[in-house]
Each structure stands twice: as structure tokens, then as C-alpha cells.
Amino acid sequence: MCGITGWISYDRNLATERPTLEAMTETMACRGPDAAGIWLDTHAAFGHRRLAVIDLDGGKQPMAVERDGRTLLVTTYSGEVYNYRELRTELEGLGHTFRTQSDTEVVLHAYLEWGEAFTERLNGMYAFALWDPRTEELLLVRDRMGIKPLYYQPTPHGVLFGSEPKAINAHPEVRPAVDAEGLAELITFTKTPGHGVFKGMHEVRPGHTVRVTRDGLTTRCYWALQAREHTDDLDTTVGRIRGLLDDIVARQLIADVPLCTLLSGGLDSSAITALSAGELAAQGSGPVRSFAVDFTGYTENFTPDDLRGTPDGPYARALAEHVASDHHDIVLDTAALMDPAHRAAVLAARDMPNGFGDGDTSLYLLFKAVREQSTVALSGESADEIFGGYRWFHDPEAVHADTFPWIAAGVSGRFSGGNAVREALLDRGLLKRLDLKGYEDRRYREALAEVPYLDGDAGLQRRMREVSYLHLTRFVQILLDRKDRASMAVGLEVRVPFCDHRLVEYVFNTPWSMKTFDGREKSLLRAAVRDVLPASVADRVKSPYPSTQDPGYNEALRSELRGVAADRNAPVQPLLDSAVAKEVTADGAKGDIRPGAELILGLDAWLRTTGTSLEL
């Protein structure tokens, strides 16, 4: 994986702007620790930081295709195209010649052969820019599911772009600011496609391209979920899902660097680990290496709640023993989670304080440990969104609520380990101006208006198609963005097999009654992979990513919040409800403050360190 950035300007000579491109590119160093590259032309400037995964020697970037001394096309590219070998063979049959073994060069030639329609041929996770010097046009491309991020900011005479907002914000003419809508997007548990949070900034929407010319910007959707009739019976459906998973995992195990899996002991990660173990054994290159995160004393002192009924450790070890993986537990304590350096690294990776509190810090530390032994990891992300794994998929009250089901289930606080609401410590006047409920409602109505239906969709089937669509286009974006930022902060490439668009399309159109044929969550996935799992893992109830239960963590937050609340110069003061902060930090105060305290402390650190201004 890599970090990309660039600048298109039709009113100046960018060939003289190397210092600016170097500054923008340097912000992506964590995403690409292996190499850096700059390409400059009159109206286009590209920067690239490389994490070498395929064709370690030949895949350097930015990469160009030249013919007769003339540059035809240039790219700065991030991602993996898993079917690049098949595409290369097809292109060679059409007369194309290649000088490297990289998927990057295949993408360049695919565009030269098929134009913008080449996006429909790509299978993978990617975000890249293509510059055609002949027409002086830029094309920004993002993968179908939005696994890899790509931001852009129009300027009066062109555009700035980057893998992360920090690359754009490093431009000397950009003054990062967040207005009321951006702050609402940041605080609420939504992820609006295309919204960049920062004023004037946008994300390329998943499955979209953005073309930049002298006349301006135009966007095009090349992929979206479509409603199609599902005609397969149950056995055929289960077999089709297993066949797809076998093919997907085999493709995503291709790498020229050490590779591993992330193993929680849940159904999703266990399936990926078991299938990877089988494929590697068939290749004669096993065992698979697996990693899990744990907390000091977590298993021994675990207390069940309505999201997490069991600790991960015993199940992860059971699966590891079952497939004979080379397994490693990364055990963290409260001191590591509260370490200012670790939290600062997470904030820098995320660009904004809208995360999962200690869940982000522990994920970062897990990835940091994994990176010491592997460069690529396979993860079980998005299986819950595809197969209906979350508990609120099966809660009639949440399903039929007139809002996003996860918001109706009140999970924004509980995902970060607490039960309080994230906005609990925000100023009442600020909350009134932001109107978070109204913001969520507008975004919910926009999402519903996009949902594709079949003529026969009615009742529960119609509503569950909506619920599935909301998760596959909104909720999963929250998790994919989190995983990308935490992994790329340490130069680790995380692949997400369940996000293969073929699997997503197929299961999206499978009737809800079939997805729950045995009366449980993720019935189809469980049936498709049961033969490679121990019974304890195959039958385990969904448990989200773990969060520390150490009461000392809550108290450490309380102590830090007390200091910020007492600091009149703290930049977060205008956003803070001082009376509530004083109440929850008073001597002897009890109760859960985690989601609210983590948000306030994150906002304070963000405003202190990034130079971002609030325009409310």
C-alpha cells in the first residue's frame, strides 16, 4: 500500500513547485516507508510514498508510460488490483508490452486500452490518480467499497488531492477549517459518502471517478449496488459463497513480503485465517501467521455486556490450534492505552478526533506489533455488514426505527467501551446550533433515497434490503477508514477479503429469510465455512472488537479531563459544558465518562496540534 498526493494547476508552472510537493508527500511517509518519488510537469505535480508489496524493485512511483520519447500517461497509485495477472495477459494479447511485474503498470495500460471503462475490470482495493499530458486531464479513481481513502479540494485553477486530508492541508495556500456541518459530521456516528469534514474538502465517493479539466470537475459513478433477483436455492447459495471466498482468499494471499491474518476468534476473522491456512498448505508455504489483541487480565476478569458476551482470547487460541497457525497475542495494559505518545500518533493518523477511543489506540498498537513481523495482513472487516452479523440487525425496534439502525441501538458509546453518549460533555448552546439529530435525519433520508429495490420487495424483506444498504454504504465506511488509518500509520497493508465486490453483490441480493435460515446471525457465512472451523468458534455469537474493561482507564480519563476543564486556555473550552465537566470530574465522582471524555480530549489535542480553525 502507499500514500499519494498531487496538485493540478492550469494557471502556473508546477515544474518549479518541488518544495511544496515534497512537503505534501512527506505527510504520507507513514503510509509508504520504503521509497519516495516526485513527478513534475507544467500543470501537474505528483507525489508518492511507497510501501513495497509486489515487484519490490520494479514498482517505483510515480510511474509513467512513454512511447517514442513522449509521455502518454502518469500515475501515483495506492492499492492492490488482485486480478492484475489476468489483465496483464489480456493486454499483452492486445499488443501491450510491460517493463515491470507490478499491478501499477497494468492499471496504466488498462486505461490506455479501455479508457475510463477500465474501472469496471478492476478487482481490488485502490485509490489513484492518472494524468494524461496529451489532454491535460486528471482522473481520480477510488475502489468500489471505499477501502482505500482519497480526498480532494478544488482550487480556482485546478485541484489538490491526497490519500489523507493532511496531505492537502500541508499545501501553503490551504488553511484547514471545519464549519458547523463538518463538526456535526465528525461528532455523529455517520459517514456521509463524499464528505471531507474539512471546509472545501471532499472524498472521492466509493465506486466513483472525478475528472479534472480546464473546465472544472465532473464525477461519474462506475459501480453501485443494484437489486437483482436471487434464483439460487439454499445449498447452491452456500456453495457459491464458499467458492467466492476460496477464490478471494487465494488472490489476496499474493505478496512478495511477509503476510499474516488478524484473528479475534470471531466467525469472520476465523474464517479468513482458516481459509488462508488451507490455501497456504496447498501451496506448500504454510503455516499461516496470526495475531490477536488482548488486554492485561481481560479474559480472567471479563464482564459480559449487551455487545460483548465473551472474551476473544480462548476462541482465537482454539482456532489457532485448529489450523496450526503461528499465533501471537499482543497484550496491552492501561498505561499503553493512555500513553500520550500513542494517543498523539492515533490522532495524527486519523486527522480528526472522531474515533473509537481506546479501541483506536489498541488497534494502532496491535498493528505496530504486527508490522515488526509482517507487511500485509488479511482482516475479517465487513462480514457483519454483508451477512447481517450485528445484533441490531435482529432487533425489531432498531430495524424499524426511523433512523440508522446502529444509532437507534445506541452503539456509538458502547463501541468505545462505554455506555454514555459521545456528546455528553459538549456545550448545550453548541449542540443546539449543530442540531445533531437533524443532521443525522438528513443523512438518513439521503441514504434511503439511494436504495435499489425489486418490484416484489415488501415488508421485512424490503426493510432489510434498506438496512443492508445503509450498512454497506455508510456504517462499513466508518470501520474501513479506521482500519486503513491505524494500519497505514505504521506502514502495514490490511486487506479485506469480504469487501470483494463480487461477494458483496451476491449476498446483498440474497433474501433476508435465507441469510437467517437457521434463526441466527450470519447463517450463510457460518454454513459456508463450518467445515474449516472448530465447533466452538463456528457457533460463537458475534462479539465486536474488544475494549479494555480496566476501571483504571475510566479514572485516568477523568483525571485528564479535570486538567483540561480547569485550563482556561484550553482550545476546547468554547465547546465544553463546564458545569457538566466539573460535575463528572469532582472528587468521588463515579459513572462512565469514556465516550464523552475521549471526544473532548481528542478535540482539545486536535485543536492544539493541527492548526485547524473552527468556523461555527
Catalytic residues: 2
User: Cα separation of 552 and 560, whole Å?
Assistant: 12
- The angle that helices 501-508 and 459-470 make with each other, rounded to 10 degrees, is 160
Cβ-count burial of 304 within 10 angstroms (0-12 exposed, 13-18 middle, 19+ buried)?
exposed
What residues form DSSP beta bridges with 378?
A: 261, 495
Helices (H), 15-173: 18-26, 84-93, 103-114, 165-169
Give how far Cα 521 sits from Cα of 315, 473, 542, Å: 18, 20, 8
Q: Is 3 in contact with 31 (CB distance < 8 Å)?
A: yes
Q: Are strands 259-262 and 208-213 parallel, antiparallel or unpaired?
A: unpaired
User: Cα separation of 505 and 501, whole Å?
Assistant: 6
Q: What is the dihedral of CA 246, 249, 252, 254, to 10 degrees?
A: -70
In eight-state DSSP terms, residue 540 is: P
Please report the DSSP string for 265-298 in residue order.
Answer: SSHHHHHHHHHHHHHHHHHT--PPEEEEEEETTT
Give how far Cα 434 sits from Cα of 179, 186, 431, Å: 10, 11, 5
Instruction: Reduce the DSSP state of residue 416 to 3 states and report it.
Output: coil
Q: Which residues make Cβ contacts (< 8 Å) with residue 127, sequence separation at least 6?
A: 4, 78, 79, 140, 141, 142, 143, 148, 149, 150, 163, 204
User: Cα separation of 387 and 517, whole Å?
Assistant: 12
Q: Is 358 in contact with 553 (CB distance < 8 Å)?
A: yes
User: Cα separation of 500 and 382, whole Å?
Assistant: 10
Rg (alpha carbons) of the chain, rounded to whole number: 24
Peptide bond into 258 cis (omega under 30): no
Q: Is 195 in contact with 38 (CB distance < 8 Å)?
A: no
